[in-house]
């Protein structure tokens, strides 16, 4: 992880909301990835607050599907400092995140010969969905 003092630009916090676990990611507008992790739903607010202390977060992008509305209300109520929240289309992001997982973490050993469509990531990929949400937001800005 890179310290906020080394950053010369604001960053975007990506948030894939869920009822039991959530994906979080921090990315610069230059698409440089600084952080990504899956956290329990209970730890989400505290983790977001910690990330905001570590990084110059300018806004939060949140997926528009699972639990999005209730999470937006929770963020408004529980974050000590208001944060601009932008909703992003989350359709097909889980399938796209599976493919991205294997790009970021290529399979090793015998798993390399298994076709990608038949592989299952060995961990939750909600954080990768959060990365994709940020990228979708940035693409919306440039198109």
CATH number at residue 61: 3.30.420.140
Q: Is residue 62 part of a domain?
A: yes
At 21-36, the pLDDT tens digits run 999 999 999 999 999 9
Q: Is residue 130 part of a domain?
A: yes
Q: Is residue 88 part of a domain?
A: yes
CA-CA distance, 105 to 59, in Å (whole number)?
A: 28
Q: Is residue 3 part of a domain?
A: no
Q: Is residue 103 part of a domain?
A: yes
Q: Which residue has the tokens 């989400």?
A: 44
Q: Answer whether 16's CB lies under 8 Å from 126's CB.
A: yes
Q: Is residue 1 part of a domain?
A: no
pLDDT score recorded for residue 5: 47
Counting the structural domains of the chain, the total is 1
Domain housing 68? 8-142
Length of the chain: 143
CA-CA distance, 143 to 9, in Å (whole number)?
A: 21
At 32-88, the pLDDT tens digits run 999 999 999 999 999 999 999 999 999 999 998 878 889 998 988 888 788 899 999
Q: Is residue 31 part of a domain?
A: yes
Higher pLDDT, 92 or 142: 92
Q: 3-state SS of 25-40?
A: EEEECCCCEEEEEEEE
E strands of the chain, at which residues?
A: 11-16, 21-28, 33-40, 57-63, 85-88
Predicted model pTM: 0.90
pLDDT score recorded for residue 81: 82
SS3 content of the chain, % helix, strand, coil (to 5): 45, 25, 30
Cα–Cα distance list, 122 to 21, 44, 101, 107 (Å): 16, 22, 10, 10
At 91-110, the pLDDT tens digits run 999 889 999 999 999 999 88
């Amino acid at each position: 992880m890179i310290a906020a003092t080394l950053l010369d630009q604001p960053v975007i916090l990506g948030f894939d909301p869920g009822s039991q676990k959530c994906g979080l990611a921090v990315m610069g507008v230059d698409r440089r990835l600084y952080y990504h992790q899956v956290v329990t739903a209970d730890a989400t607010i505290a983790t977001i607050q910690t990330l905001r202390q570590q990084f110059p977060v300018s806004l939060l992008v949140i997926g528009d599907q699972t639990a999005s509305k209730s999470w937006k209300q929770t963020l408004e109520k529980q974050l000590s400092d208001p944060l601009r929240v932008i909703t992003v289309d989350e359709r097909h992001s889980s399938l796209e995140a599976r493919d991205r997982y294997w790009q970021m973490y290529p399979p090793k050993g015998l798993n390399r010969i298994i076709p990608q469509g038949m592989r299952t990531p060995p961990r939750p990929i909600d954080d990768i969905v959060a990365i994709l949400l940020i990228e979708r937001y940035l693409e919306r800005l440039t198109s």
